Structure 1
């Protein structure tokens, strides 16, 4: 390998190191948006614009913001129907028939014994208002808006006292002018609601109406990660085409004067869904497969409200007739198995892609599935990661074998290369020519060791994506002090891993980057040992850089998810063992604890 190629590889490696350090020290800033006080939700106000059907457009005056309320105060302002299932707890409001109070019984904010459950939906009036609502909108000239159910309609319970997986709830509202509306709300054993809306026409003339569903979110989430490899915001599928829109991009959508908001509309012919996705949780509206609709993304600046709509086609309801429309609402954690079953059983196209698999989806998906089944086998996600490492190394072994054989031959040539360097002196051109002649004479390809390394880069990134994005590693323990594989190793070298009587610096401290745990230290040591097996660069500067690289990576990855660091340690240990044994089989005895330039002794068997 000539000097130019060496410098190119070195520059590439160093550039990667610099970029990684930059993203760790200076992550992309979170766009918190312009905070505004929430307001009470009423018909077409507070940023909740009821969609216009076909010929007509919604239009209503806006209200001034009101003071934010606590969750308890907001819940107390409306009569409610309790929601109780194995996985969900909360209530729905009879004002507007909104599903606006929902927590996950199986998931908690932290690992503390008294940690509260994760809450997704919050009622209007709170600072984090987030809810789903449904209704009807008229075609132009058909029925006035105030005679149709909307966000502030006072519903009554017709049947059902508590919404459970076995007992649906039916709400009813009579507009007093011949139209009777019912809303039958049911939920399965997991996280999928079904909202069936019916209208009974007793007016004596035909009415033309269109059903809709809305998920509204007041302001950006306060726990927005803002990390470049994770999508948070609107996610949708429209006839097989997946689309993701970040919150700041929703704000920048073209403004529609009729909608009084920034809007994007997509026509769906037969299969689609739309909603909001967070790091681990999602709320999504899903019309029945085969149903045409319009998927709408909207932002109302005046009230800082984000909105996703499902607008269904206009239906004509003749005198004495009753018509109905059904829309599903998923509100829950992004459990791969659960979402996959909904996709397969209910025919919701690309629903499993609501999990952010990224550009390398062709790697992240199989890596995740392998990890999932290994977890079922071992019962511990940490051991599943180690098992996955063995599987990946086994798949790459044929390439690795050729690479290690090539490195072994280069190790054997190390003494001759030192002699060439001594005889050539400062004549770098002569040294390169003689080194290349030596490689050619001994049939050694110095670039043969690069391919396994290049193949591991997308695999490593994909595994990092899986560990960071997927829910299944959240709060999963390993052994000892590691209680959450999605979080950094909690031990710290700055207090000798708990032996000294003071706490390690927290994330806000300038010393946090030096507060690395046991597993990052093991990663640095194992990486250093592995690199000692490789031929040392003839250039002193390059040799010094490569000797420091394991310790640089140790601090770089020290604050990464411990599951990823465990993978790296396992990978280094397996690689070291494979390379060491193959080098010995080729007649090379590596001097692991040699001097800083990594000189070795070669002996023939």
Structure 2
């Protein structure tokens, strides 16, 4: 086996193994729901006196009990619709106007937040934000508002940009609490809390915010995708997956498993899904205590921001502003909140992955191209062309080296005849021949090696960034973040029956147009060189394009489109460079030769027997 074929086989097998592992571990799967799963239980009612604790860090009870029936205040913004309840002042009903669950025109809006104890049969699992005050000093729990407190609407009728609502509650013992909630044109709420002490003695208490969700959300459950707690504490990104929250320390005073961190300045914490997020965001420069909590049995996941204790003198008023992000993780929107509002490293709430140093610039370039072209599919193709142009100098050296190795084939044959069975001498003289002609036999692997991190990074971009969700290309490709919906099993829609779904064993055979084009592009790229004479090599080369076709067939259409474009550009580059160096690939001759070899193989096997 000559070194060129060795290198090509090595590169191909390496690429195949990487894709195989990637597909096995990371490939999208259809989430399943266990019909026998028990109903989610709720935590004990909030509102009693919290257990004794150090005075500088009052504990916060879980805001888990269903709130009593109470009036609701409508939320209506250009991008949000829903309501908040006067019971606890909870922000617990929120849908995203710009996003539907599916491509079906009759599909409902994406529901982000849902109340506890909903009566709608299709009600999502409870997911909400609630604010309040923890008692300190001589105060007990009855002196402060909790998640069941019935507030009074003082001002405003509908929460809209420029139209805040103000709530109040008088505890009847000298403390008057007020809460003003406002919202911008996108997804950022501002919650201004105050307490007025009309009594005769000073009081001590601490404001807090909670984001809680009950039960595991419907998600991809994929290792490549982070879903769970996400936050920034003093410049350090923190991520805790839902499945890892049962590893939190058991903190008795917190009533469950908890991680408690003091943050000196600037931070945020909440829950992230693939495309959506709800996060508590203290004011810039504000010190606070960040808490991640999990209540086993009740299956309640909770994040909190606890502000320092305030002492309010008689006749005085204490106030504090905090913020709540509840919406879609749109890159431009959260970058605006990061750069213009000052939320520290908010863009990192998008799961950029291990190759973030590639993923971020690739996404920014793709986003810019999309703004220029207006179509994500064509933007991916142009992105591929730009990436190939950037790595072309290295790829060019590789292709030139491969062309030179072709030119050295006659010399290699003479070496084989001269050295006979002396493999050591053959290897020594072969390396000397390469050195004399300035040929690097390992350079054939370089293009494949370069593609691997780029492939992973682009996969991450296509899989996790919202801008690819439901993004169309042409014809039948209506969602580049989903697999090609066409199928060879019904002749791409010509036959009047549906294709097998993901639960069927035949689903893997349901290959669409794009995967088939991928296999053809890889097959043609192989035909730039004659098939290896070694039967094992020939078999690998024969099956490799079609194995890739099936392995990548269920990947996002955008990623398959990138791979087709990449193969096509690579084919063109390699053909031109080899031609420029006096070796014009005989593509059709190589195809005929491989077909002829296949016909001869049975006869050869019969003679051997």
Alignment TM-score, normalising by the size of structure 1? 0.90
- The alpha carbon displacement at 1:40 in A equals 8.2
**Per-residue deviation, residues 53-80 of structure 1 (Å, max 9, x unmatched):** 73575598999x9xxxxxxxx8993210
Partner of 2:601: none
Which is further off, 181-190 or 249-258? 249-258
Partner of 1:148: 144
Aligned CA distance change for structure 1 residues 24 and 131 (closer, same or farther; 3 Å)? closer
Partner of 1:234: 229
Does the Cα contact within 8 Å between 1:171 and 1:184 map onto a contact in 2? yes
Runs of 4+ in 1 over 6 A off after TM superposition: 2-8, 24-34, 48-53, 59-63, 422-427, 596-599
- The alpha carbon displacement at 1:434 in A equals 5.4
| Cα separation, 2, equivalents of 1:21 and 1:371 | 24
1:169 to 144, 165, 171: 165
Aligned CA distance change for structure 1 residues 60 and 452 (closer, same or farther; 3 Å)? closer
Aligned CA distance change for structure 1 residues 59 and 582 (closer, same or farther; 3 Å)? closer
| Cα separation, 2, equivalents of 1:462 and 1:11 | 21
Find out whether 1:373 has 2:368 as its counterpart: yes
- The alpha carbon displacement at 1:532 in A equals 2.2
| Cα separation, 2, equivalents of 1:477 and 1:41 | 47
Q: Secondary structure at the match of 2:394?
A: helix
Q: Secondary structure at the match of 2:471?
A: coil
Partner of 1:129: 126
Unaligned runs of 5+ in 2: 119-123, 595-609
Aligned CA distance change for structure 1 residues 419 and 34 (closer, same or farther; 3 Å)? farther
- The alpha carbon displacement at 1:536 in A equals 5.1
Q: Secondary structure at the match of 2:134?
A: strand
Partner of 2:500: 505
Q: How does 1:338-487 map to 2 (within 5 A)?
A: 338-414=333-409, 417=412, 432-433=427-428, 435-487=430-482
Q: How does 1:21-36 map to 2 (within 5 A)?
A: 21-23=23-25, 35-36=38-39
Unaligned runs of 5+ in 1: 66-73, 600-605
| Cα separation, 2, equivalents of 1:261 and 1:340 | 35
Partner of 2:207: 211
- The alpha carbon displacement at 1:411 in A equals 2.4
| Cα separation, 2, equivalents of 1:26 and 1:104 | 24
Q: Secondary structure at the match of 1:248?
A: helix
Does the Cα contact within 8 Å between 1:52 and 1:137 map onto a contact in 2? no
Does the Cα contact within 8 Å between 2:4 and 2:441 map onto a contact in 1? no
Find out whether 1:110 has 2:102 as its counterpart: yes
| Cα separation, 2, equivalents of 1:122 and 1:50 | 29
Q: Secondary structure at the match of 1:405?
A: helix
Find out whether 1:101 has 2:78 as its counterpart: no
Q: How does 1:535-554 map to 2 (within 5 A)?
A: 537=532, 539-554=534-549
Does the Cα contact within 8 Å between 2:154 and 2:168 map onto a contact in 1? yes
- The alpha carbon displacement at 1:593 in A equals 2.7
Does the Cα contact within 8 Å between 1:233 and 1:245 map onto a contact in 2? yes
Partner of 1:602: none
| Cα separation, 2, equivalents of 1:594 and 1:496 | 31
2:156 to 160, 177, 186: 160
Q: Secondary structure at the match of 1:402?
A: helix
Aligned CA distance change for structure 1 residues 312 and 51 (closer, same or farther; 3 Å)? farther
- The alpha carbon displacement at 1:276 in A equals 0.1
Q: Secondary structure at the match of 1:151?
A: coil
Aligned CA distance change for structure 1 residues 435 and 99 (closer, same or farther; 3 Å)? same
Does the Cα contact within 8 Å between 1:31 and 1:226 map onto a contact in 2? no
1:197 to 193, 197, 211: 193
Does the Cα contact within 8 Å between 1:235 and 1:274 map onto a contact in 2? yes
| Cα separation, 1, equivalents of 2:397 and 2:478 | 39
- The alpha carbon displacement at 1:138 in A equals 1.3
Alignment TM-score, normalising by the size of structure 2? 0.89
- The alpha carbon displacement at 1:453 in A equals 2.1
Find out whether 1:92 has 2:84 as its counterpart: yes
Aligned CA distance change for structure 1 residues 425 and 535 (closer, same or farther; 3 Å)? farther
State the aligned residue count.
586
- The alpha carbon displacement at 1:267 in A equals 1.1
| Cα separation, 2, equivalents of 1:183 and 1:42 | 22
- The alpha carbon displacement at 1:18 in A equals 3.9
Which is further off, 398-407 or 542-551? 542-551
- The alpha carbon displacement at 1:12 in A equals 3.8
Q: CA RMSD in A?
A: 3.0
Aligned CA distance change for structure 1 residues 471 and 7 (closer, same or farther; 3 Å)? closer
Does the Cα contact within 8 Å between 1:109 and 1:116 map onto a contact in 2? yes
Aligned CA distance change for structure 1 residues 497 and 423 (closer, same or farther; 3 Å)? farther
Does the Cα contact within 8 Å between 2:471 and 2:481 map onto a contact in 1? yes
| Cα separation, 1, equivalents of 2:522 and 2:62 | 65
Does the Cα contact within 8 Å between 1:104 and 1:118 map onto a contact in 2? yes
Partner of 1:19: 21
Partner of 2:300: 305
| Cα separation, 2, equivalents of 1:546 and 1:383 | 30
Which is further off, 3-12 or 282-291? 3-12
**Per-residue deviation, residues 127-148 of structure 1 (Å, max 9, x unmatched):** 600000000001132x111110
Partner of 1:488: 483
Aligned CA distance change for structure 1 residues 136 and 529 (closer, same or farther; 3 Å)? same
